[in-house]
Structure 1
Amino acid sequence: MPFPRGKKPTVTAGSRLPKLNAKATENQEEGPQVKRSTSPPHGAPKKRTAFIDITNAHNVHISLPGRKKEPAKKQVKKTSSTAVPAKNQANLKKSSSVSSEGTTAEKEKTDAEEEKPSEKQEEAAPVEQLTAAAPPAVREVPAHLQRQPIPEEFDIDSDNTEDCFMCPEYAKEIFDYLKQREEKFVLCNYMPTQPSLNSEMRAILIDWLVEVQENFELYHETLYLAVKMADHYLSKTPVHREMLQLVGSTTMLIASKFEERSPPCVDDFLYICDDAYKREELISMEANILQALSFDINIPIPYRFLRRYAKCVNAGMDTLTLARYFCEMSLMEMDLVSERGSLLASACLLMALVTKDLGGWAPILQFHSGYQTSDLAPVVRRLHAMLSAPPDDKLRAVRNKYSHKVFFEVASLPLVDMDVLEKAIS
């Protein structure tokens, strides 16, 4: 609110006034308001505003290559007739009485100069022509960075050009990169380095993690990533059998943070462990696992490759679910820990295709996966031996899960004969 003229405003303690009002107050203390002259005193610099005059925008010249810069027009200072001395007025009258002969001669000279280009313009003309004729420099892309063309019969991403979430422009490059990253996460049979663990304990842990994934309604990617992190941690750190469940629940917590939109909280994981561990123990185990893995938990999992390869042959949901059942059963097999996720997914899909009598390993699958039938044969034989073994009553979580109608009851389907598989992989 503006202050009344001639009065000093009262300022309370703690209040602050803008600088502009403070200056106005100082000016008001000087005495009665006197209108100041707008013309500057003699010899003083001309006043200007804090910002540049926006009306000078038309005076800005942009220098383009090949164009001659025009000299800036001199600004004529406007002067009032009252401020000009009498001597200057006489000179102005004298100059205004000049005959029109000089004006006509100057006009003819100007027209002749416009018609005849100057020497500098003649020299600049060839440069402009060369600049316009020269094409822009194009950098050559290195051979290893050039995108490899995809044959039309193997193109499975062009149908998703309008779906940005499917990344159709570089979907194949993404899975090729994931396949390269698999070489960093190759495992071996680490059980000999675990003094108090064995393969059966690991299988029981994974069977329990499947139940956790169902109860919390988590993504399948969360389950696969949790199993991968648990295997990598156990391959580097000896763990006592009493702490094995803590390792599994902690890896499920980390995977939930990585994959889920709304992951369960720490108390939920303590509850499913029947309060066998304290909150501090779980948080400490989380830090130990992340440090052991160097915080690199983006591990390629077979589930992602399985969905990609099933899309290559337009497999139905029942066929994909059958392949997922084979792949999830393989998580409990210690002998398959060393297999790469892309190879394991390819073998599971081949078994599902043969079971459904949908053909063998098509050329399009060979193109996108990079595996031939001979590469899949050893893994397919081990998967068939695992599935044909009598089921363990202690490990029923996966079979019960895929016996539900939601999963097309694929667990109750008869296993394909080995002779039929041998024909498909031969």
Structure 2
Amino acid sequence: MITVSTFKNIQLQDFNKFLEANPIPEWKEKIKADTINARYIAIHKLFTDEINAEKRSVSNETIDAFLFEHLFYTYKNYQYVYRFDDFKFTAESSIDSVRDYLSERTELCYNRLLTEQANTDNFTLHTTRIEEKAGKLISLNFLMKIADIRTMRFPEVDVYVAIKVDLVNSMILLKFNLTQLELLNSNATKILIELKRILNGQTQAGHKFEPLNINLSSLNEKDAKKTIFKLFEELSLDAEDIINAHAPSEADVKISKFLDQMGLSEIKSDYIQQIKAVIYQEISSALTISDFKNGWVYRFTFREGLTTKASSRTDDYSPIYNSKIYWHLKELIFKEEEMQEAGLHYTLPNPPDGSNYVLVRLESRSDCIIINYYHRMRYNRKGKEEFVLQKLNKHLPK
């Protein structure tokens, strides 16, 4: 059974929702406590007693599914994205053969329930799961404890990394909780290096992964920046089409005539675009977010060479298109076709829980792309992740 320190990864309100849907007798009374720390201890005891009971109100599998969902998806809002050059399985691998292979290697903890006894040492693999869809292998998912931290609320909290080998998008994701990662301070870099070595089978803790032939590969920094630009470009061009539909008719002709009247010897396309930018900025400020059906850019950082050229964002995650900086730099950004960082708001098609958008910040960082999920992203996290990864994979070179 995972520890009280692990339970502290999950918010109390989520335990309450689970227990309301899967009631354990007298649970409301049993988890009453004077302090938050004491309440977590009481919740842990409630679950432990239920798991060890001869007659259970809630199955171990139901508890396990709740714990895995929250430790692997719900709170993992900061993700490092890599490619891989090699892996034992492909999306075409037989599901049965994958199950058989993993079952034979007990060190990989295939389908091990999180309700079972486990080693609490750091860099301990707690469970391996496979994800399939329509008989196709989608991913292998590994949950591993990597550290212990002290927070302002708790003297000890277990830190987990969720590792996803995504066979559909040919990516490896190392998924963390950003708050926990920041508390690790300088150890975060060491842990990241160690995890890559473990997955590549290069350390004692990585021996169990060696037969899987995982070869995690770094992203080319130029490719990462171009990929972020492409996602920035998609939403921006879509937004400009919307703004242009509200622009005065024959704007280019009218601007050219105006410049001619001003006595310019040559009317360059750049001059027309600069004046149009002022008009577009004014139009954008009058539009509402509902006008941008597919989404919008809400922040960006653009660098030309080693110099930071500009950074702009909206504090409320609203569209960036009424920003002077966006329009002043737009032509240069589109010419360079690279972007260091972008904040993107996507509208989701047919969301299951009524949360119809995903808000992310993408950043090119040395050998990977970082995805930071923002603002109410705990709901339908799995679906939102799949949406963003498909967008990313569309432009990221293989």
Please classify the TM superposition score into its range, dividing by the shorter chain length: under 0.3
Does 1 or 2 have the higher relative contact order (CA < 8 Å, sep 6+)?
2
TM-score, scaled to structure 1: 0.19
Structure number with the higher helix fraction is 1
Structure number with the higher strand fraction is 2
TM-score, scaled to structure 2: 0.20
Q: Which has the larger radius of gyration?
A: 1
